[in-house]
Amino acid sequence: MRSNVKNVITFEITRNLKKPTFWIAALLLPALLIGYVALAGFIGYNTGSVIEESSDVSGLSLGIYDAAGYLSTTEIVDKDGETRALEVYDSAEKGIEDVKSGELGAFYHIPVDFAETMEVYAYAKPNTTSIFSSYDGPLKELLMVSAATHTDPLDFAVITNAISINATNFATDTDEIVDPAEIIAKMVIPVVGLVLFYILIVMFGNRLTTAMVEEKENRISEIILTSMSPKDLITGKIISLIALGFIQLAALVVPVLILYAFGATQGIIPDGIMISWDVWTIVSTLLLLIVSYFLFTALCITIGTLVPTAKDASSFASVVMIMVILPLFFINNFMSDTPTVLTYVLSYFPPSAPIALMFRNCFGTLPVWELMLGLVVMAVSSALIIKLAVYIFKRSALEFTMKVNLKSLLGSPRNTWKAK
Amino acid sequence: MTGVVTVKNFQMSFAGKEVIKDLSFTVKKGEIFGLLGSNGSGKTTTIRALLNLYQPSGGELLINGKAFDPAGDFVVGYLPEERGLYKKETVIDVMTYFGKLKGLKDPKEWSLKYLNRVELPDVANMAIGKMSQGMQQKVQIGITIMGNPKLLILDEPTKGFDPVNRKLLMDIIEELHEKGTTIVMITHYMDEVERLCDRALLLKDGKARAYGTIKNIRKEFDGKTLDQIFVKVYGEKADAQ
Q: Do A229 and B101 touch (CB under 8 A)?
A: no
* Residue numbers of B between 43 and 82 with CB closer than 8 Å to A: 48, 51-57, 68-73, 76, 78, 80, 82
Residue B71: which of A3, A14, A15 has the nearest Cβ?
A3
Asked if B101 reaches chain A (Cβ–Cβ under 8 Å), the answer is yes
* CA distances, B88 to each of A19, A279, B85 (Å): 10, 44, 9
Report d(CA A212, CA A307) in Å as an integer. 9
Whether residue B220 is contained in a domain is answered as: no
Give the pLDDT confidence of B65-112 residue by residue, as tens digits: 999 988 888 889 999 887 889 999 999 999 999 999 988 999 999 999
Report the first-to-last Cα separation within chain A, whole angstroms: 10
Q: Over the range A143-152, which residues count as b (16 or more CB within 10 Å of their CB) and which as e?
A: beebeeeeee
Q: Which residues of B touch A417 (CB under 8 A)?
A: 52
In a domain, B123, yes or no: yes
Chain A residues with CB under 8 Å of B150 CB are: none
How far does the CA of residue B136 sit from the closest CA of chain A (Å)? Answer: 13
Look at chain B and report how many structural domains it folds into.
1
Alpha carbon A1 to chain centroid distance? Answer: 48
Cα-only R_g, chain B: 18
Residue A286 has pLDDT above 50, yes or no: yes
CA B201 → CA A229, A410, B66, distances in Å?
Answer: 30, 33, 22
Domains and CATH numbers, chain A: 5-30+179-410 (no CATH), 58-159 (3.40.190)
**In-domain check, residue B159:** no
Q: Are strands B5-14 and B17-27 parallel, antiparallel or unpaired?
A: antiparallel
What pLDDT score does A324 carry? 93
Nearest CA in chain A to B45: A414
Q: Please report the ipTM that was assigned to this predicted complex.
A: 0.86
Q: What is the mean pLDDT of chain A?
A: 83
Alpha-carbon gap: B234 to the closest alpha carbon of chain A (Å) = 27
**pLDDT band, very low/low/confident/very high, at B199 (cuts 50, 70, 90):** very high
CA–CA separation, B45 and B102 (whole Å): 23
The answer to whether the Cβ–Cβ distance between B71 and A398 falls below 8 Å is: no
Lowest-pLDDT choice from A173-177, A325-329, A339-343: A173-177
Alpha carbon of B99: minimum distance to chain A alpha carbons (Å): 10
Which residues in A have their CB inside 8 Å of a CB on B?
1-4, 7, 10-11, 14-15, 214, 218-220, 222-229, 232, 397-398, 400, 412-417, 420
Q: How far B186 CA lies from chain A's nearest CA (Å)?
A: 16
Give residue B167's pLDDT: 85
A73 and A142 in contact (C-beta within 8 Å)? Answer: yes
Work out the minimum CA distance from B84 to partner chain A, whole angstroms. Answer: 5
Q: Does B152 touch chain A (CB under 8 A)?
A: no
State how far the Cα of A195 lies from the Cα of A203, in Å rounded to an integer. 12
C-alpha R_g of chain A: 33
Q: Which residues contact B168 (CB under 8 A, 6 or more apart)?
A: B118, B138, B141
B103 touches chain A (CB under 8 A): yes
Closest-approach residue (CA) in chain A for B103: A2
Q: What is the mean pLDDT of residues A56-63?
A: 77
Query: Under 8 Å CB-to-CB from A9, ≥6 apart: which residues?
Result: A236, A239, A240, A243
Range of the domain at B128: 83-148
pLDDT tops 90 at residue B46? yes
Please indicate, yes or no, whether the overall pTM of this predicted structure exceeds 0.90: no
- Inter-chain residue contact A226 with B76, CB threshold 8 Å: yes
A106-110: strand order across its sheet: A87-88, A62-66, A106-110, A121-124
> Per the domain annotation, does B198 fall within a domain?
no
CB contact under 8 A, A414 and B89: no
Q: Is residue B55 part of a domain?
A: no
Whether residue B27 is contained in a domain is answered as no
Residue B218 within a domain: no
Q: B interface mutation test: which of A8, A214, A223, A399 has the most B CBs within 10 A?
A: A223
- Of the candidates B55, B73, B78, which has its C-beta nearest A416's C-beta? B55
**Chain A / chain B CB contacts < 8 angstroms:** 90
**Using a CB-CB distance cutoff of 8 angstroms, which residues of chain B are in contact with residue A400?**
82
Angle at A203 (CA atoms; ends A21, A321), nearest 5 degrees: 145
- CA neighbor of B230 nearest in space, from B217, B216, B213: B217
Strand segments, DSSP code E, in A121-211 are 121-124, 169-170, 177-178
* Distance, CA of B125 to CA of B174 (rounded, Å): 30
Whether B144 maps to a domain, the answer reads yes
What is the Cα–Cα distance from A384 to A301, expressed in whole angstroms?
13
pLDDT of residue B182: 95
The rounded distance, in Å, linking the Cα atoms of B105 and B64 is 23
Nearest to B31 by CA among B152, B198, B233: B198
Q: Considering CB atoms only, which of B13, B53, B71 is closest to A228?
A: B71
Whether B160 has its CB under 8 Å from any CB of chain A: the answer is: no
Give which of A234, A221, A222, A394 is closest to A299, Cα–Cα: A234
Express each pLDDT in A307-339 by its tens digit. Answer: 888 778 887 888 888 999 999 999 998 988 788
- DSSP per-residue letters across B88-155: TSBHHHHHHHHHHHTT-SSHHHHHHHHHHHTT-TT-TTSBGGGS-HHHHHHHHHHHHTTT--SEEEEE
**Do B137 and B164 touch, CB atoms closer than 8 A?**
no
The 10 Å Cβ neighbour count of residue B20 is 25
In chain A, what residues touch B68 (CB-CB under 8 Å)?
Answer: 226
The three-class DSSP label of residue A73 is: coil
